[in-house]
Amino acid sequence: MKVAVSFLSLKDDLETTIKKINESSAEYFHVDMMDGIFVPNTTYTVADLKKIFKNVDKKLDVHLMCCSPNKYVREIAKLPNVEYLTIHYESHRRPIDVINMIRHTPMKVGIAINPETKVSHIVPLLKSVDQVLVMSVHPGKGGQEFMEDILYKIETLRDIREENNYHYIISVDGGINDKTSKLAKDAGADMVVSGSYVVKADDYEKQIESIR
């Protein structure tokens, strides 16, 4: 199981947190970008991210919780080390247009779905994406409880991938700890995103190992 660490809910200062994640065995930094419109909170601008990740070599898994995601693609593509750029299905009228835009950059592309969005809505997009991010909380903030009733979506996505020979990874975001990560893994997830469970602890590595 791959692990991406979200640093929304900090215990230490930002610089220390970034350094500790960078030195951990986690595969990715999970970067939660919020615009105050798609979700009520705002987080980092691309300029902030440029500074935050100046001395970082770990890859970034960027999760864009913003309306008009197309407006961000060009700038995010200029950041170093972005492997995935994931947009929300609910954030654009024609998500395929934004997916195609991202495909013209060196970044891989992901599609995220809110807890109330059914997999059937994104079926036509699945052949074009490298990651499906299944939200297991309502997007907007860290520290919420994992919603078990999303687990069937992971199974459905795994079946669709197998039947069609698609290549996307299935990632799960929100409320991940040692127990919920096991549920996600058993359902077929390839990656989990964990925030508070990791960055609110002293020993990040111990937490990361427990969710793998």
Binding site for ligand DX5 (CB under 6 A): 6, 8-9, 30, 32, 63, 137, 139-144, 173-176, 193-197
How far lies 205's CA from each of 22, 61, 179, 198, 211, in Å?
11, 19, 16, 8, 10
**Considering the complex, what minimum distance in angstroms separates the CB of residue 33 from Zn ion?**
9
**Considering the complex, what minimum distance in angstroms separates the CB of residue 32 from Zn ion?**
4
Is 186 annotated in the active site?
A: no
Which residue's CB is nearer to Zn ion, number 141 or number 161?
Answer: 141
Which residue's CB is nearer to ligand DX5, number 43 or number 156?
Answer: 43
Residue nearest ligand DX5, Cβ-based: 195
Residue 91 interacting entry, from Zn ion, ligand DX5, none, C-beta within 5 to 8 Å by type: none
Q: What are phi and psi of 71, to 5 degrees?
A: -70, -15
Give DSSP secondary structure letters for 121-167: HHGGGGGG-SEEEEESS-TT-SSPPP-GGGHHHHHHHHHHHHHHT--
Is 44 within 8 Å of 82 (Cβ atoms)?
no
**Considering the complex, what minimum distance in angstroms separates the CB of residue 163 from Zn ion?**
28
How far lies 87's CA from each of 26, 70, 120, 176, in Å?
22, 9, 17, 20
Which residue in 32, 35, 61, 130 is the catalytic one? 32
Residues numbered 55 to 94 that lie near Zn ion (CB under 5 A) are 63
Is 202 annotated in the active site?
A: no
Active-site residue set: 32, 173
